[in-house]
Amino acid sequence: MKRVITLQDLSCVGKCSLTAAIPVLSCLGVETAVIPTAVLSCHTAFETFVSYDLSDKITPILEQIKKNNMRFDAIYTGYLGSPEQIDEISVVIDELRDNDNLVIIDPAMADDGELYTGLSADFVSRMKPFVKKADVIIPNLTEACMLLDKTYTSPSDFTEQEISDMLLMLSDTGPEKVIITGIHFGEHEMGAVSYDRAENTFSTAVNKKHNGRYLGTGDIFSSVVTGCLLEDQTLGEASGHAVDFVNRCIEETEKAPDRRWYGVNFESCLGELINYI
């Protein structure tokens, strides 16, 4: 059984970050270890919340992992709460990396052209060198623009050629594999486009476009990709499964719109992940 260690925050209420990553990865047959970067009362889209930064706990946890000679087939990072925490996690990657494991970074910091609540422009400048450590990065379209200092307007404004060029430019910074999510394909479809430098291939994954905001979908997408890559699937296959699973989660959530704010109802779809491995 493959083993991944994921570093991101834990929300006591709200289905995102670790709350979503652990069950998704587990259902894909991957043993999941964690280093929680923060504990929040609820995710940050709620009107009020409290957050407890765990940055000072990361190094002691890392030291014990090393003392026990623990090895991981993948190191997977999600939402990080501060520029300083990026530096802490960068050390973890350096210490746990070997010649055979996979480093997957979701530069979770922005959407719809804006940084997430509480993050500053300095966060973007620290994220740029951080993603160079990755084998795989999974930015959404807003994050890809920020990493490349490109102007973001609307998803519909980007041509197929522009997306391809962005994938190549992001790969040129270091990561061998890049997926950009949140790509619009006409009025009724959206999905992701990926590029694998080793194979020199582009892949497109498309499904139904849904109106409205659905929280936690990025975390679910990245977790599905991570699990599928650890099953030795191609980047295109992993991205396709992630797009399809996120679509199913949104469909389930649309049946209970009063619950949407907590995150998508992925729990009722978890059994379907067996079809992806």
Structural class in CATH, domain 3-276: alpha beta
pLDDT at 215: 85
Domain boundaries, the chain: 3-276
> How far is residue 210's CA from residue 213's CA, in Å, rounded to a whole number?
9
Evaluate the CA torsion angle 152, 75, 61, 7 in order and state its sign.
positive
pLDDT at 62: 97
pLDDT at 257: 66
**What would the two tokens of residue 43 be?**
């995710």
Q: What pTM did the predictor assign?
A: 0.96
* Segments of the chain with pLDDT less than 50: none
